[in-house]
C-alpha cells in the first residue's frame, strides 16, 4: 500500500459505507457533471463514472480518484432515478415478477492520471408485487433517490428472491472490481 491520497467522487452514503470496508483512508468530493447519456446501460455507466472521475481528478491532481455510476436496466432500457412517485410506480411495475440487470461502472484515475475503467453487472429477480404493495413501498420514500426506484439493502429486499452476481454492485459499488482497480493503482 502507498499513501497517495484517495478521493471518492461520489455523494452516495452507500458508496461511502462500502469504501470504508477497504480500510483505506479517503475523502469525499463529488463534483457536478452532466449525467445525460444515451449509450446502452453498460457503456453509459462506464462513461458517467469516467466523467465523474475526470472532473474530480482536475480538482485533485496527484491523488487517486474513484468514481462510480449505477443504472438498472430492464429489456436493455435504463432506469435511472425516478422523477416522481408516478415514475417510481412505472419502474417498479416493470420490474415486478421479472429479471433485470444492474450495471455499475467504476473508474479509478491513478496519481499519474492513467484511467482504469470497468463495469460489473448483476442479474436481479423481483417476485411479483401487487400495485398496492408498490404504492406502500413508494410511500416510504425509499425509492425516490435510487436507480430503478429500489434499494436491495432496504425494504425492496422483501421482494428480491434471486440475485446472480455481486450484491454490492446492486448497492452501488462492486467491491471485488473496486479492489482490483485499487490494486492496479498500488493502493491495496
Catalytic positions, written as ranges: 69
Cell of 5: 491520497
Show Cβ contacts of residue 25 under 8 Å, excluding neighbours closer than 6 positions.
Answer: 6
Find the angle CA(142)-CA(67)-CA(115) to the nearest 5 degrees: 160
Q: 166: closest CA among 82, 106, 94, 81?
A: 106
User: Contact, 93 vs 85, CB < 8 A?
Assistant: no
- Rounded distance between C-alpha atoms, residue 102 and residue 36, angstroms: 18
Amino acid at each position: 500500500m502507498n499513501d497517495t491520497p484517495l478521493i471518492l467522487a461520489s455523494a452516495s452514503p452507500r458508496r461511502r459505507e462500502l469504501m470504508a470496508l477497504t480500510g483505506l483512508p479517503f475523502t469525499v468530493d463529488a463534483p457536478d457533471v452532466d449525467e445525460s447519456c444515451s449509450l446502452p446501460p453498460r457503456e453509459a455507466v462506464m462513461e458517467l463514472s469516467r466523467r465523474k472521475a475526470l472532473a474530480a481528478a482536475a480538482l485533485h491532481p496527484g491523488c487517486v480518484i474513484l468514481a462510480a455510476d449505477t443504472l438498472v436496466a430492464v429489456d436493455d432500457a435504463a432506469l435511472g432515478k425516478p422523477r416522481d412517485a408516478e415514475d417510481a410506480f412505472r419502474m417498479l411495475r416493470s420490474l415486478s415478477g421479472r429479471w433485470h440487470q444492474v450495471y455499475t461502472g467504476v473508474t479509478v484515475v491513478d496519481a499519474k492520471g492513467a484511467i482504469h475503467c470497468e463495469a460489473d453487472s448483476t442479474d436481479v429477480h423481483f417476485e411479483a408485487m401487487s400495485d398496492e404493495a408498490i404504492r406502500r413501498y413508494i410511500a416510504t420514500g425509499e425509492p425516490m433517490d435510487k436507480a430503478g426506484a429500489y434499494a436491495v439493502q432496504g425494504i425492496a429486499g422483501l421482494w428480491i428472491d434471486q440475485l446472480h452476481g455481486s450484491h454490492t454492485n446492486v448497492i452501488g459499488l462492486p467491491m471485488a472490481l473496486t479492489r482490483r482497480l485499487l490494486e492496479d493503482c498500488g493502493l491495496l
